[in-house]
Chain A
Amino acid sequence: MTSSSAGYILSETLHSLRRNPMLSFASMLTIFVSMVILGASFFFMVNANYMASTFESQLEVSAFLNQDITPEDIERVRGLITVLPEVASVELVTKDQALAQFGQNMGANQSEIIEDLGGVNPLPDKFTIKTTDPQQVITVAQQVETITGVKKVRYGPGVVEPLLKFTQWLRWIGVGIVILFTVASLVLISINIKLNVFSRRREIQIMKLVGASDTFIRWPFLIEGMIIGMIGGILAALTVGYGYNWLVEYLTMTLTFLPVVHNAVFFGEVLTGLILAGMLIGALGSTFSVRKYLRI
């Protein structure tokens, strides 16, 4: 391609943007709305996922040991638990530590409590076990329960199952929303670009008649699509960015227990992604729509 053609293609692009401002604006708005929806649903998905993981990571198995267990036995039990493949970490909370913890909660010191309890620490030694996958909590609990030296296992049955079900759902809903709105925005955008190209089929026909190559015809549409997509994408990134920031601030103030994702790098990646996606959709949309009219 000669530099003369390149310059002409650029001026053609600007011409068509200016000549059809309503349509250009409508396309831009479509991409903007789609990208906002896409960005918002993406953040929803990520947060749903994060919430699910946070809730799940609080799940653990407590294995209480026999009162008269020896230190060697404690190590033996620890070994048996550690070799289980689903186990991520094992932490020993000795009866003294447990008592100290208990005392702190009660606002009294250790010796006072022991005195009050008749000189014996009634709390057992305990292993706190985290699993590699929260879904494995129940399996691990059942296996640990069979180890000699372990008196009792607690993992909050009745709480774990519904919680796991809930977090699973939360994830599916997040993914579902993203898929739904991706499809919706693609449909919206393709309708818009079809309209745009249809309004210019005459121009395309004339270009073909005077011997323009298909590549030459495509370029202005491609660049126009990319520019429109980029503007829509940038506006969407700003909207989603500010909107999300505001929402996060609001939520962390009002619903302090709710875990939300607040990571600047990730945040920037998503917003950049929105801009690139807008450009890509604009470019792809115009390429596919023009193709139909090139067969003249």
Chain B
Amino acid sequence: MIQLRNVSKMYPNGAKALIDVSVRIEKGEFVFLVGPSGAGKSTFIRLIYREEKPSRGSIILSNKNLARMKDREVPLLRRKLGVIFQDFKLLQDRSVLENVAFALHVVGTPKREIGIRAKKAIELVGLATKEKVLTAQLSGGEQQRVCVARAIVNDPMLLIADEPTGNLDPETAWGIMELLYNINKRGTTVIMATHAREIVDQMQKRVIAIEAGKISRDEAHGGYGYDV
């Protein structure tokens, strides 16, 4: 599915975020990225959706090397991915439906399909009754659900999430995790960077720990593992 080979990332200011990282993630896996603040988790995520290019090494995603990918191919890559963020990144002045449909419009989906698919995704995240509400008027948990709906509406093969529960209370966070769990069960690969100890401990999925830019631990069924 996705393979990093000797990947290093140095930012223009000289910060070494990742150092010689090699890892392979198979199709259908659910992977937690854990590690202290500044370890390089977000950098890892950004490399996968090609917001950043690796300074060294290669990243192979469905037979394409992202390190050599041209800028104009990036939109095509992103259409195969779903991305979820801590701060949701929604259009505040538009309804739930419009936000989800947005992702279909920009990739040129035929009009008659857009409504059907967007509504299906919204139903899946449990917001069917709030379709017409502006996202600015939703709670944090609901906003994150919209974000999930938008991320899955294109049926991505890979879902990447950077601290998707970072701004949510524990109960709401579990609601989002349930969504991701179900999406993963339907065959979508999920990679999620998080600081949520309880969630990681309880779900017993693959855990990749990053410390100071290097992989320090990689367990098939692990816990959060830090005592801090």
Contacts and interface: CB of A to CB of B under 8 A. Distances in A.
Contact of A5 (B89, B105, B154): B105
A22 interface: no
Contact of A211 (B78, B111, B114): B78
Given A209-B89, A211-B79, A8 B72 contact: no
B221 to A, nearest CB: 31
B77 to A, nearest CB: 8
A206 interface: yes
B51 A296 contact: yes
Interface string A210-236: 111110100000000000000000000
B122 to A, nearest CB: 16
Contacts of B76: 211
Nearest to A8: B105
Interface residues of A, number: 21
Contacts of B91: 203, 206
A8 B111 CA distance: 9
A19 B75 contact: no
Interface string B46-87: 000101000000000000000000001001111101010000
A213 B75 contact: yes
A28 B114 CA distance: 34
A4 B108 CA distance: 7
A209 B106 CA distance: 10
Contact of A209 (B78, B93, B105, B108): B78
Interface string A247-291: 000000000000000000000000000000000000000000000
A83 interface: no
A162 interface: no
B137 interface: no
A205 B106 contact: no
A19 B78 contact: no
A1 B106 CA distance: 11
Interface of A is mostly: helix
A211 B80 CA distance: 9
B109 interface: yes
A203 B107 CA distance: 15
B102 interface: yes
Contacts of A2: 108, 110
A202 B102 CA distance: 14
Contacts of A207: 102, 106
B207 interface: no
Nearest to A205: B89
B103 interface: yes
B93 to A, nearest CB: 6
Interface in A167-219: 202-203, 205-214, 216
Interface of B: 49, 51, 72, 75-79, 81, 83, 89-91, 93, 102-103, 105-111, 114, 150, 154
| A-B interface, 4 closest residue pairs, ranked by CB to CB distance from nearest | A212-B106, A211-B78, A211-B79, A210-B103
16 contacts: A2-B108, A4-B105, A4-B110, A4-B111, A7-B111, A8-B105, A19-B93, A203-B91, A207-B106, A208-B75, A208-B78, A209-B83, A210-B106, A211-B81, A211-B103, A211-B107
Given A4-B111, A211-B103, A211-B106, 10 more contacts: A5-B105, A8-B105, A205-B89, A206-B89, A207-B106, A211-B78, A211-B81, A211-B154, A214-B72, A216-B106
